[in-house]
Amino acid sequence: MTRILANDGVTTGCKEALENAGFEVSTENVPQEKLNGELLNYDVILVRSATTVRKETIDACPNLKLIGRGGVGMDNIDVEYAKGKGIEVINTPAASSASVGELVFAHLFGMARFLPNSNRDMPLEGDTRFKDLKKKFAKGTELRGKTLGIIGIGRIGQATANIALGIGMKVIATDPLIEDVTIEVSVNGHVVPVDIKTIAFNKVLKESDYITIHIPGGDKPVIGKKEFNLMKDGVGIVNCARGGVINEMALIGALESGKLAYAGLDVFENEPTPAMQVLMNDKISLSPHIGAATLEAQDRIGMELAQKIITFFKN
């Protein structure tokens, strides 16, 4: 019997689908330092973002036939090395796109109306300084009619663009691999196609009122002091992609100088211990890497993983 270790957990639906197909599934969490030894008892490992599968693990577990990542990015897996060893590597690139796009707008709407700070101040002072707080948070802005710049117009970027277009924003985008996309915006059951042709990276930086990033992490930040200086004054920026895509110290500097009005971060350079300068800055809207963490996305991720595993072993 093929044995699967879902080290970061899977949905009930995924587990049931795999077990009904004849697989044995364990959802016991094995600590990273003990993983190599424990994996000798399994044919498949499924991870999210907590567990890493590096060369050492791959070399220590010659029985591994498949590594699965519930989510999009696979920077916690040495993918090419695994494939070179004949191990199948799968992920679920489409399942969480809508959830991440909605979180981007949760940050954007919240920041535009000062909700993170308002929600902190109201319980403390709402009964004694109501009029003062009303005045403090009375200079919000509307997103409708503004320009959203999307850096990376893949699946998640497109899901984000769909929401932006739906609320009346203008969308511009840059992507080194994509020249144009058609976003199908659903309005009361009617589909309205909107064509977007990508433009130069610097042009997006210069023309956007808000910027959201949807690219994989790399060796160095994509947004730093130089890039912030190209932006309009008072821009809002959101990163629900990967920690390290934005230089956080440059971000703090841009917020303190007023170049940026605010930022929304779901991912951080030093997860799971983000820098205190980031956590304590009242111009940053914060969430703890929950972009794909909706019930609907988890169900889609689980079922997509199950189907890919079943198909792989059937073939």
Could you list the active site residues? 242, 271, 289
Rounded-to-integer distance, Cα 81 and Cα 279, Å:
36
Cis ω for the linkage preceding 272 (within 30 of 0)? yes
- State which H helix or E strand residue 4 sits in: strand 3-6
CB 273 within 8 A of CB 267: no
In sequence order, what are the residues at sequence separation of 6 or more whose Cβ sits closer than 8 angstroms to the Cβ of residue 138?
none
Structure tokens at 247: 């230089």
User: Which of these, 61, 20, 58, lies nearest to 38 by C-alpha position?
Assistant: 61
Side-by-side strand order, sheet with 284-286: 170-174, 147-151, 210-213, 235-239, 260-265, 284-286
